[in-house]
Amino acid sequence: MVEQYTYLKPLGLYIHVPFCLKKCCYCDFTSYPYSEAAAGVYLDALFKEIELYSQGLPGWDKALASIFIGGGTPTCLPSRSLTAVLDRLSEVFSLLPGCEVTIEANPGTVDRQALIELRKGGVNRLSLGIQAFQDQLLSMLGRIHTAAEAVETTRAARMAGFEDLNLDFIFGIPGQTLADWQETLSLAASLEPEHIAVYGLQLEAGTPLENLVSRGKIQPCSEDLELFLYQTAIQYLSGQGYVHYEISNFARPGRESIHNLGYWLNRYYLGLGPAAHSYLPCGRYANESTLEGYAGRLAQGELPVSTTEAGTVRTEMAETMFLGLRLISGVDLTAFYQRFGRRVEDVYRLEITRLLKAGFVEFANGRLRLTAAGLPLANEVFIEFL
Ligand code: SF4
């Protein structure tokens, strides 16, 4: 399956939109309550940042394989603003044929008209944060939409002309039962999206949901149930014709996310917007995390970079291993050798020997990949390569 990924071009572009209508109870991402004034400050700064990159960087190819507008909730912004950003990007960068242009949207923040405008404006992939199809679970998460609105938005996206849809879901929500999850998966498949992502709920420190759990006000999902829900998703979605191609991601054959594959193949990407991260031939760097800091730097004509890390070949090899092992097909041994001039088996001889003995990884088809036993323990496997 991975042979097809060799057509991937090296640069993806990520834009972080830091606004949400309301903060969800489990979220620790950088986001602010949406207001027209704050959106104006953000957009003004974003156009300045694009302008600075229009002059180019040493060793940097401006050809784009993918654009991903994420957040936050990008669709808090008016569609005409989002399409104006895309127009400017297509003038400054060179969008390769088949360039995947994704926008994240949440039900309750887009209507059919907005979706039509986005589609006409060049967005060709929509990623909807549905999370669950039970209103009580959506309410537990602090989401603003209902299950009925999620179905309605998915159908509206189809009517607006989106032929590439991703739906995001969460398992391991406090109070979620196996029956809830089966209902969610079944309804998700009945909507026939090209792509489905399922994530285990992370109880991030300092969030209201984590606070309720740590004070014993609500019971978290047990580890056993969470694992069973994950395995249920793999079994059910595979049976529905979805290819399980990454730990959390499923796609119709050939409809894998080009942008996210770029991350897992440890390709270069440029991040714009507050708190966005970049990985370019010159290193990894992070933008100012606050809107104020980000806009302030750009107002002075500076790139809003707050931290940089030159990186070493050793760290690049480690990243290539643990990101590549997220793919179900695993790390391509030939590609690793071509990139670094060294064999995976030589660089990580001890680590791989340990993992093979434990039954967590295996060699197959010129790749090193997680086994079924290693999949639920992926994080422990990744630590071996750090
Ligand atoms: S919509 Fe997404 S980014 Fe915004 S608060 Fe909720 S989970 Fe976080």
- pLDDT of 255-281, one tens digit each? 999 999 999 999 989 999 999 999 987
Looking at the predicted structure, is the pLDDT value of residue 354 above 80?
A: yes
Looking at the predicted structure, is the pLDDT value of residue 54 above 90?
A: no
Please give the C-alpha separations between residue 278 and each of 45, 174, 237, 317, 370, in angstroms, as whole numbers: 17, 34, 33, 17, 27
What is the residue type of 265? L
Q: Which residues pair with 367 in a beta bridge?
A: 332, 364
Distance 144 CA to ligand 1 centre (A): 10
Q: Do domains 2-264 and 313-383 have the same CATH topology?
A: no
What is the residue type of 351? E
* 229: CB partners within 8 A, 6+ apart: 171, 172, 176, 178, 181, 221
Looking at the predicted structure, is the pLDDT value of residue 4 above 70?
A: no
Quick one: pLDDT at residue 14? 97
Q: Which residues pair with 363 in a beta bridge?
A: 368
Distance 362 CA to ligand 1 centre (A): 37
Quick one: pLDDT at residue 108? 87
Distance 107 CA to ligand 1 centre (A): 12
The topology under which CATH files domain 313-383 is Arc Repressor Mutant, subunit A (1.10.10)
Distance 61 CA to ligand 1 centre (A): 32
Please give the C-alpha separations between residue 249 and each of 200, 264, 323, 337, in angstroms, as whole numbers: 12, 12, 14, 27
Tell me: cis bond preceding 72? Omega within 30 of 0 counts: yes
Q: Is ligand 1 within 6 A of the CB of residue 199?
A: no
Residue nearest to atom 8 of ligand 1 (CA): 27
The residue-averaged pLDDT of 324-339 equals 97
Residue nearest to atom 6 of ligand 1 (CA): 24
**pTM metric for this prediction:** 0.94
The topology under which CATH files domain 2-264 is TIM Barrel (3.20.20)
Domain boundaries, the chain: 2-264, 313-383
Looking at the predicted structure, is the pLDDT value of residue 231 above 90?
A: yes
∠ CA 21-197-284, nearest 5°, is: 75
Q: Are strands 331-332 and 367-370 parallel, antiparallel or unpaired?
A: antiparallel
Q: Is ligand 1 within 6 A of the CB of residue 31?
A: yes
